[in-house]
């Protein structure tokens, strides 16, 4: 089979066979298909799309491109939560300890930030000593001991996804429904969890900008998961504004700890409780309302916070930082970003807000870039808030004034201030 013919078939709107899809994924993973042909096929898929059958085949080929994790040594019902990516989304740091404190097993493989979106693994590494790089044996041992561990994706798990994601990131082919669905579900199916809750973001900070597109993506991924025998559901949630107030790794961990302590921003708390309740519900712990009440109690009793501390300790992190988050070292240069006009914040471009944190040093332009874990910003105003000219919109932290200058420019340009109070958007649009 010639790769040229596969690209041409998709370019002309044809449907690829299972054999053609497998040959592409296997050939690319082995290095036999060059980047330029893989990029051409991704672009053809971007424009022509894929049928559900093709997307399922692509997902299974990604799943089978490396090792399938065998977590059978880990006891209990294994649960996972995966977000399609957003700005300020630190819910995993709250949800994982809530559900683990209620007896579910969280053996979670998370990603690093890429592009304008953040990643749980980078955030956790802001806790001094925290190790996200455990072998499968160490991972199993830790989960069996504490009921929870969060690590980075093992190199051998779905390697086709790593290669394809890096390629898509630099060829403007990330925001394609079949490519996102196969990337996320390929990894999830390789990781051997029993219950999966997907947080499918929608809005300007999401890869899927409209609710219709996000719904279609959610349905597709849930269908693929069900066919593979998983208990799976998805919440479609707002990413037209950052979640919470903090954006940047150490700052987000601090905000997550505040939420585990019973405080924290209302949107972060609400979404964390809703996702936790969904996971507990899939795990058949009761009705949705009972599961929600259990999650609330896990927070108010301090059990979720204690479970987070246990996880930090088991993975080598310094628990003193959890007990006293003022210890986190933030980047030395500080800037108060001031509003350019008076009125209401009518809209923000959340993708640009993500870019602003990247410019501060909190994210990478390439996978190899070193990140500044103390960089980022805390918003003082969000969409719908009234603001006066000269009032502080955000407090930014970075290693240099130059970084602050460029991030400030981007944040201000991404913030619309007008006379009319905007119509509020729901935090959770629907469950699929
Ligand atoms: N997250 C992933 O893991 N893959 C994508 O393609 C998009 C978000």
The CATH number that applies at residue 213 is: 3.40.1030.10
| Domain assignment of residue 428, yes or no | no
Residues 180 and 313 in one domain: yes
Domain that holds residue 359: 328-418
Same domain flag for 260 and 145: yes
Ligand 1 and 184: CB distance under 6 A: yes
Residue 90 falls within a domain, yes or no? Answer: yes
- Residue 31 included in any domain: yes
With a pLDDT cut of 70, the percent of the chain lying above it is 98
Residue 132 is assigned to a structural domain of this protein: yes
pLDDT of residue 144: 84
For ligand 1, say whether the CB of 208 is within 6 Å of any of its atoms.
no
Is residue 90 scored above 90 in pLDDT? yes
Q: What total number of domains does the chain contain?
A: 3
Residue 424 in domain: no
pLDDT at 370: 85
Q: Note whether 7 and 28 are same-domain residues.
A: yes
Does one domain contain both 276 and 302?
yes
pLDDT in tens, 243-286: 999 999 999 999 999 999 999 999 999 999 999 999 999 999 99
Single out the residue in 308, 323, 338 at which a domain terminates: 323
Q: Which pLDDT tens digit goes with each residue over 341-358?
A: 999 999 999 999 999 999
Residue identifier of the C-alpha nearest atom 2 of ligand 1 = 184
Domain assignment of residue 373, yes or no:
yes
Q: What is the mean pLDDT of residues 21-34?
A: 95
> Are the CB atoms for 109 and 191 separated by under 8 Å?
yes
Alpha carbon nearest to ligand 1 atom 7, residue: 180
Asked, for residue 395, whether it belongs to a domain, the answer is: yes
Give CA angle at 97 (232, 66), nearest 5°.
50
13, 138: one domain: no
- The mean pLDDT value for 31-47 works out to 96
Residue among 123, 187, 310, 381 flagged as catalytic: 187
Given the DSSP bridges, would you call strands 231-238 and 428-431 parallel, antiparallel or unpaired? antiparallel
The distance of Cα 211 from the centroid of its chain, to the nearest Å, equals: 18
For residues 21 and 131, state if they share a domain. Answer: no
Active-site residue (options: 65, 183, 206, 272): 183
Domain boundary among 290, 323, 356: 323
Does residue 161 have an active-site annotation? yes
Tokens 């640009």 label which residue? 352
Does residue 83 line the site of ligand 1, with CB under 6 A? no
67 within domain boundaries: no
**Mean pLDDT lowest among 54-58, 197-201, 363-367, 426-430:** 363-367
Read off the pLDDT of each residue in 355-380 and give the average, rounded to a whole number: 89
Active site residue 267: no
Domain containing 25 — which CATH number? 1.20.970.10
Between 175 and 412, residue with greater pLDDT: 412
Selected residue with higher pLDDT from 134 and 355 = 355
Do 257 and 359 fall within a single domain?
no
pLDDT given at position 190? 86
- For ligand 1, whether the C-beta of 183 sits within 6 Å is yes
Question: From the CA of 239, how far away is ligand 1's center (Å)?
Answer: 15
Ligand 1 test: best mutation among 85, 86, 175, most atoms within 8 Å of CB?
A: 85
83, 91 contact by CB (below 8 A): yes
| Ligand 1 touching residue 243 (CB < 6 A) | no
Q: Supply the pLDDT for residue 282.
A: 94
Mean of all residue pLDDT scores within the chain: 92
Q: How much is the pLDDT for 165?
A: 85
Give per-residue pLDDT as tens, 310-350: 999 999 999 999 999 999 999 999 999 999 999 999 999 99
- Is 299 in the same domain as 182? yes
Contacts of 405 (CB under 8 A, 6+ apart): none
**Ligand 1 pocket member 85 (CB < 6 A):** yes
Catalytic residue status for 187: yes
Is the same domain home to 254 and 200?
yes
Examine the domain organization and report whether 319 and 332 are in the same domain.
no
Q: How confident is the model at residue 367 (pLDDT cuts 50, 70, 90)?
A: low
The residue-averaged pLDDT of 65-71 equals 76
Nearest residue (by CA) to ligand 1, atom 5, is 180
C-alpha 118 to ligand 1 mean position (Å): 12
pLDDT in tens, 233-254: 999 999 999 999 999 999 999 9
Structure tokens that stand for 207 in this block = 């890869």
Ligand 1 site, residue 84, Cβ cutoff 6 A:
yes
Ligand 1 mean position, distance from CA 324 (Å): 33
Q: Looking at residue 363, which CATH number applies to its domain?
A: 3.90.1170.30
* Boundary residue ending a domain (306, 323, 340): 323
| 8-37 average pLDDT score | 96
Q: Is the domain of 162 the same as that of 212?
A: yes
Residue 158 and residue 227 in one domain: yes
Tell me the mean pLDDT in the region 186-198: 88
């Amino acid at each position: 089979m010639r790769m040229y013919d596969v690209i041409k078939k998709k370019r002309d709107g044809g449907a690829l066979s299972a054999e053609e899809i497998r040959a592409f994924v296997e050939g690319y993973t082995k290095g036999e298909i060059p980047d330029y042909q893989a990029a051409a096929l991704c672009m053809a898929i971007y424009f022509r799309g894929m049928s559900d059958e093709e997307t399922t085949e692509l997902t299974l080929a990604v799943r089978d491109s490396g090792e399938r994790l065998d977590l059978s040594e880990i006891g209990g019902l294994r649960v996972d939560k995966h977000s399609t990516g957003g700005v300020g989304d630190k819910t995993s740091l709250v949800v994982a300890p809530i559900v683990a404190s209620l007896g579910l097993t969280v053996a979670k493989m998370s990603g690093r930030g890429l592009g304008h979106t953040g990643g749980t693994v980078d955030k956790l590494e802001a806790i001094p000593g925290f190790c996200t790089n455990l072998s499968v044996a160490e991972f199993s041992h830790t989960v069996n001991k504490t009921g929870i561990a969060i690590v980075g994706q093992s190199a051998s798990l779905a390697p086709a996804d790593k290669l394809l994601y890096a390629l898509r990131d630099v060829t403007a082919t990330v925001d394609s429904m079949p490519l996102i669905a196969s990337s996320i579900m390929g990894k999830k199916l390789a990781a051997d969890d029993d219950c999966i809750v997907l947080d499918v973001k929608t809005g300007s900070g999401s890869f899927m900008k409209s609710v219709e597109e996000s719904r279609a993506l959610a349905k597709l991924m849930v269908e693929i998961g069900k066919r593979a025998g998983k208990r799976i559901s998805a919440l479609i949630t707002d990413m037209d504004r950052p979640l919470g107030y903090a954006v940047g790794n150490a700052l987000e961990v601090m905000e997550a700890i505040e939420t585990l302590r019973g405080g924290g921003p209302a949107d972060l708390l609400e979404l964390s409780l809703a996702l936790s309740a969904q996971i507990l519900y899939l795990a058949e712990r009761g009705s949705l309302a009972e599961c929600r009440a259990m999650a609330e109690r896990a927070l108010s009793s301090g059990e979720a916070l204690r479970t987070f501390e246990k996880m930090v300790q088991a993975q080598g992190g310094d628990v003193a930082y959890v007990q006293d988050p003022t210890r986190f070292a933030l980047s030395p240069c500080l800037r108060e970003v001031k509003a350019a006009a008076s009125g209401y914040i009518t809209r923000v471009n959340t993708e640009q807000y993500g870019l602003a944190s990247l410019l501060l040093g909190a994210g990478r332009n390439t996978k190899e870039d070193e990140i500044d874990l103390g960089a980022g910003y805390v918003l003082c105003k969000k969409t719908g808030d009234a603001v006066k000219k000269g009032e502080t919109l955000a407090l930014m932290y970075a290693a240099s004034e130059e970084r602050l200058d460029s991030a400030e420019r981007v944040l201000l340009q991404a913030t619309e201030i007008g006379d009319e109070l905007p119509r509020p958007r729901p935090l959770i649009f629907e469950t699929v």
